[in-house]
Amino acid sequence: MIEIRNLTHKYRMGNNQELTAINNLSLKIAKGEFVAVLGHNGSGKSTLAKHLNALLLPTEGKVMVNGLDTSDPNQLWEIRQQVGMVFQNPDNQLIATTVEEDVAFGPENLGISPEKIRQRVDEALDIVGMADFKSRAPHLLSGGQKQRVAIAGIIAMRPQYLVLDEPTAMLDPSGRDEVISTIKKLNKEEGLSIVHITHFMEEAVYADRVVVMEAGEIVLEGKPREVFSQVSVLKKLHLDVPAITVLAYLLNKEIPEFPRDIMTIEEMVVALCP
């Protein structure tokens, strides 16, 4: 598992000042788990993401990846092989002239044989639904397609954990749907552990667990139904709540027996038309 123990991270500012981005945070992420981390801008969720594969190191506390300490430089290479990162802008992760060359870049740097690289590239592109585009130039793809290629480039290196730092923030609704479907498939069908950092509440509905951050601390944690049913608390944290959940919350206030933990349109239809 990934185990975060009393993590504090401080950024050094000008005039010898410090900004505390994460404050004494503890969290465990189990193998095969899908964890969504929610929070508005400045809540510390992206700083947390960068600690999971040692892009940032703790000011205080520990981050352990399968027993490996991220602050130990001798374990850095192995940690980054186990934890892959996907960022907001896919253009920052696409470097080659064709899709298949881009996906092959990571395995090549691991020193894998050409035969195995070809196998991994084909498998990764097939998993993310981009096999038909392997000869296409990345700059000709849509935003959602580019992000799926970036994900393929990471999973071709066979990590145990995939950390996605707001991967849909720059995409249109169609592109967002493509990426979210890919994330769900990687978790449910491929067994990949997912840490999805986002401020879109709808994207966390299918997670096993939701963690809500505010001012560098965890303020809510639990299954999606448990967290999303706390509409008034989430609104105080300036987070958008899915419209269906808000509707269920309002109906519950008028009809106490009406379920307030509804998350999808299908569930709402069943509740209204039993």
Superfamily of domain 2-241: P-loop containing nucleotide triphosphate hydrolases (3.40.50.300)
Give CA separation, 196 vs 33, 121, 151, 202, in Å: 11, 23, 13, 12
Please state the φ and ψ torsions of residue 167, each to the nearest 5 degrees. -70, -15
CA distance 261 to 246: 10
Structure confidence at residue 241 (pLDDT): 80
Structure confidence at residue 111 (pLDDT): 84
Structure confidence at residue 193 (pLDDT): 94
User: By CB neighbour count within 10 A (0-12 exposed, 13-18 middle, 19+ buried), where does 23 fall?
Assistant: middle
CA distance 180 to 224: 16
User: By CB neighbour count within 10 A (0-12 exposed, 13-18 middle, 19+ buried), where does 251 fall?
Assistant: middle
The domains of the chain are located at 2-241
Sign of the torsion formed by the C-alpha atoms of 262, 267, 269 and 271: negative
User: Going residue by residue through the chain (274 aa), what tens digit of pLDDT does each one get?
Assistant: 899 999 999 998 877 888 999 999 999 999 999 999 998 888 899 999 999 999 999 999 999 999 999 999 999 989 988 999 988 888 888 888 999 999 999 888 888 899 999 999 998 999 888 999 999 998 899 988 998 999 999 889 888 999 999 888 888 888 888 888 988 988 998 889 999 998 888 888 889 999 999 999 999 999 988 898 888 888 888 887 878 888 888 998 899 899 888 888 888 999 988 7
CA distance 75 to 235: 41
CA distance 192 to 33: 8
Structure confidence at residue 62 (pLDDT): 96
